[in-house]
Structure 1
Amino acid sequence: MIGILGGTFDPIHNGHLRTALDVMQVVGLEQLRFIPLHGPVHRDQPQASAELRLRMVEAAIAEQPGFVADERELRRAGDSYTVDTLRDLHHDFPEHPLLLLMGMDAFNGFPDWHKPDEILQLAHLVVMKRPGESQLSEAARELLQRHEIPVESQFNLEIGGEIQIQTVTQLDISASLIRKMIKQDESPRYLLPEAVLQIIHAEGLYRD
């Protein structure tokens, strides 16, 4: 089973990495693919270039077995739609079930994503819940009622469409916080891997 974590990763930080590892270990993923978005549809465009964001992801995950940097969305021009990425992955890995990771905030908006029904045909979902998080929109709650499986259950390897809530390590870190600290000439050390911080300093990222 292949896990998928998409994001702008502007920059990637320890909140991304620790929660991804939590899910990988609990679910037993063969690999987890980090997919930087080219042009996110529902959020501000990234400040760092696609090339630098990919470099930061590669540097961040270099020492973790099973973590893979996947540049397929960066090669595709225009908006980044999850359903297109899942189709591509199914083409490349036809024998591997796909597991899409997302946070609670993203899951709340999932019913309004582009082709959510097809996404659920192509993949299972793991909703990463930090301790204390519980608020769900009505649409997300209805979706969960139809598709949720217990946290201790194994995913069906023949189909998609199952949703599991997994509690992950609570790290109150955000890329926007890191960018703000750098702009204010404060150090974000220990919020992100040192290899990523070195790239940020070398390239002068997030200072303007």
Structure 2
Amino acid sequence: MTPGSQPPVPSPRLLVYYGGTFDPVHDGHLSIARAARDVLETDIRMMPAADPPHRAPPGATADQRAGMLDLAVAGERGLCVDRRELHRAGRSYSIDTLLGLRAEFGTRVPIALLVGADSFVDLPDWHRWRELFEHAHFVVAERPGSPLDGDLRPELAAALAGRWCRSPGQLRDAPAGRVLRLRQPLHGESATAIRARIAAGEPWRDDVPPAVADYIEHHRLYLNGGEAGGPDAPPRL
């Protein structure tokens, strides 16, 4: 640093939240979280959704799903579990979660939601979806053949105009409103398929962390069928 110059201003810390049912958490979830951690150079907070009141409960309770997440991230650098949605009554809408985060951290801190491309293309179905861009960035995890490369719904395409960013650093330059595509390794795991294989007595342990597999077996989870949890997607919208 030259005499009289000012020290560089550090980039704001980016807060990233990865929500989902995680019923159960599997290696594909962890692959997305690790890729985001490494690309964004920040911690990833895995945020299990509460038991949804509007449909049949997931195959495991909220506490069990959060417990499996604790086991999955134990010893994982930069991955942690955030239980905020389990502590809130009522439906787990993303807009409510973001409003709570803004009340906690203020309006200037960059916040991002990490979501899969399959969920992101259905963003217009989410509750108060246009407001989400006012409070957070989106990091969209995608694989080859991503639906982002196809024809987006016109209202979503219009909302995304001017929001795409090319580098992770751009997410730190504003508190919300930008979208980053995150390429991640191809994984074929699905919580729906894992539940179904457990119920059918087929091999499944290789698709989840060993500690999670032991937990599932110890608590005899998912033995009565894989349908209760529904699609492998967040119940929040």
Provide the TM-score with structure 1 as the length reference. 0.91
Give the % identical residues: 36
Q: What residue in structure 2 maps to residue 166 of structure 1?
A: 182
Counterpart contact for 1:107–1:140, Cα < 8 Å: no
Q: Point out where structure 1 has 5 or more consecutive residues left out of the alignment.
A: none
Q: What residue in structure 1 maps to residue 93 of structure 2?
A: 81
- State whether structure 2 residue 35 is matched by structure 1 residue 19: no
Q: Give the counterpart letter for 2:154 in structure 1.
A: E
Shift of 1:162: 0.5
Q: What residue in structure 2 maps to residue 5 of structure 1?
A: 18
Q: Give the counterpart letter for 2:184 in structure 1.
A: V
After superposition, residues 61-140 of structure 1 pair within 5 angstroms as: 61-94=73-106, 96-133=109-146, 134-135=149-150, 136-140=152-156
Does 133-142 or 114-123 show the bigger shift?
133-142
Any idea what SS the aligned residue of 2:59 has?
A: coil
Shift of 1:44: 6.1
Q: Which string of whole-angstrom CA distances, capped at 9 and with x for unpartnered residues, describes residues 125-161 of structure 1? A: 0111111212333333222223111246522433310
Q: Distance in 2 between matches of 1:68 and 1:147?
A: 28
After superposition, residues 119-198 of structure 1 pair within 5 angstroms as: 119-133=132-146, 134-135=149-150, 136-151=152-167, 154-198=170-214
Shift of 1:199: 0.7
Q: Which string of whole-angstrom CA distances, capped at 9 and with x for unpartnered residues, describes residues 137-194 of structure 1? A: 3333222223111246522433310011121111011000100110011221221101
Q: RMSD value over aligned CA atoms?
A: 2.0
Counterpart contact for 1:39–1:78, Cα < 8 Å: no
Q: Give the counterpart letter for 1:63 in structure 2.
A: G
Q: Distance in 1 between matches of 2:34 and 2:63?
A: 24
Q: Distance in 1 between matches of 2:164 and 2:120?
A: 13
Q: What residue in structure 1 maps to residue 48 of structure 2?
A: 36
Q: What residue in structure 1 maps to residue 65 of structure 2?
A: 53
Q: Distance in 1 between matches of 2:202 and 2:92?
A: 32
Q: Whose radius of gyration is greater, 1 or 2? A: 2
Over 3 Å counting, the alpha-carbon distance change for 1:114 and 1:149 in structure 2 is same
Q: Which string of whole-angstrom CA distances, capped at 9 and with x for unpartnered residues, describes residues 46-91 of structure 1? A: 1211110010011001111221111111111221101111122223
Q: Give the counterpart letter for 2:208 in structure 1.
A: L
Q: Give the counterpart letter for 1:79 in structure 2.
A: R
Counterpart contact for 2:33–2:79, Cα < 8 Å: no
Counterpart contact for 2:53–2:90, Cα < 8 Å: no
Over 3 Å counting, the alpha-carbon distance change for 1:168 and 1:40 in structure 2 is farther
Q: Give the counterpart letter for 1:23 in structure 2.
A: A
Greater RCO (CA < 8 Å, at least 6 residues apart): 2
Over 3 Å counting, the alpha-carbon distance change for 1:123 and 1:39 in structure 2 is same
Q: Point out where structure 2 has 5 or more consecutive residues left out of the alignment.
A: 1-13, 225-237
